[in-house]
């Protein structure tokens, strides 16, 4: 069963993390535009939202006093493994927190909520292409250490992974991000 919005609310002090709703779309765009240099990530989120596989429960917002101050997108991606096997895992990102609210744990709360949500939805692993030290603090490990790569043109150490179900990453493999990601990264 797919969890509803109410199933996935995480509260850290005064921060609420919950799935996006239709009314959040503009605010999410503003958050992404303010956090990243340029528009690429904001447009990527918009593009992914329009694709058939998009599910609001995989797009989480952080709300502070009724205002959206952070966002993280999760995307189902195939992990191609030996013997032609393909396992669905989740790719985390883009993730953003408005600069005025950074360094108060909102990014970490978003990642913890994303991990909880991935577990609830039954995914075996989460991969991230991003600042490796940031994600390592939250349990992610270097993907290269698990013989995992991807179709993105990012530095090898930028890819980190968190196994949620033992054995999911056994034998390594290649994570294939959808074209809108591969065009940017
Ligand atoms: C990265 C980002 C999401 C962090 O959000 P946040 O709410 O400030 O994160 P938290 O408060 O949970 O954690 C802050 C800690 O993360 C670490 N951190 C933050 N940015 C980091 C980076 N770019 N690389 C490594 N570590 C980083 C620091 O240790 C920081 O600790 P400090 O507050 O003692 O300085 C936010 O700064 C952001 O939106 N940045 C611009 C967009 C971006 O780079 N997104 C991530 C793409 S992978």
pLDDT tens-digit map of 10-65 = 556 689 999 999 999 999 999 999 999 999 999 999 999 999 989 999 999 999 99
| pLDDT > 50? residue 95 | yes
CATH number of the CATH domain containing 108: 3.40.630.30
* Contact 106 CB / ligand 1 (< 6 Å): yes
The pLDDT tens digits for 104-115 are: 999 999 999 999
Q: Residue 45: give the domain boundaries.
A: 5-184
pLDDT at 86: 92
End-to-end CA distance of the chain: 33
DSSP label of 54: -
Pocket test for ligand 1, best of 35, 36, 97 (most atoms within 8 A of CB): 97
> What is the Cβ-side half-sphere exposure of residue 170, based on CA atoms within 13 angstroms?
6
pLDDT at 53: 85
CA 158, CA 12: separation in Å to the nearest integer? Answer: 27
Average pLDDT of the segment spanning 114-131: 97
For residues 6 and 162, which has the higher predicted lDDT (pLDDT)? Answer: 162
Among residues of the chain, what percentage have pLDDT more than 70?
93
Q: Where are the beta strands (DSSP E) in 81-165?
A: 86-97, 125-129, 141-142, 148-150, 159-163
Give the chain's domain count.
Answer: 1
| pLDDT > 50? residue 1 | no
């Amino acid at each position: 069963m797919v969890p509803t919005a109410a199933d996935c609310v995480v509260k850290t002090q005064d921060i609420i993390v919950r799935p996006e709703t239709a009314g959040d779309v503009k605010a999410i765009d503003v958050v992404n535009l303010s956090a990243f240099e340029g528009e690429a990530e904001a447009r990527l989120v918009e593009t992914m939202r329009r694709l058939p596989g998009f599910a609001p429960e995989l797009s989480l917002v952080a709300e502070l006093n009724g205002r959206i101050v952070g966002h993280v997108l999760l995307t189902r991606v195939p992990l191609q493994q030996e013997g032609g096997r393909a396992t669905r895992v989740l790719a985390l990102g883009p993730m953003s927190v408005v600069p005025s609210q950074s360094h108060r744990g909102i990014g970490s709360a978003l990642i913890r909520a994303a991990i909880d949500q991935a577990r609830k939805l039954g995914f075996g692993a989460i991969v991230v292409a991003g600042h490796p030290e940031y994600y390592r603090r939250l349990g992610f490990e270097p993907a290269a250490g698990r013989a995992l790569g991807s179709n993105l043109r990012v530095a090898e150490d930028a890819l980190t992974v968190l196994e949620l179900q033992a054995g999911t990453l056994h034998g390594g493999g290649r994570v294939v991000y959808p074209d809108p990601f591969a065009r940017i990264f």
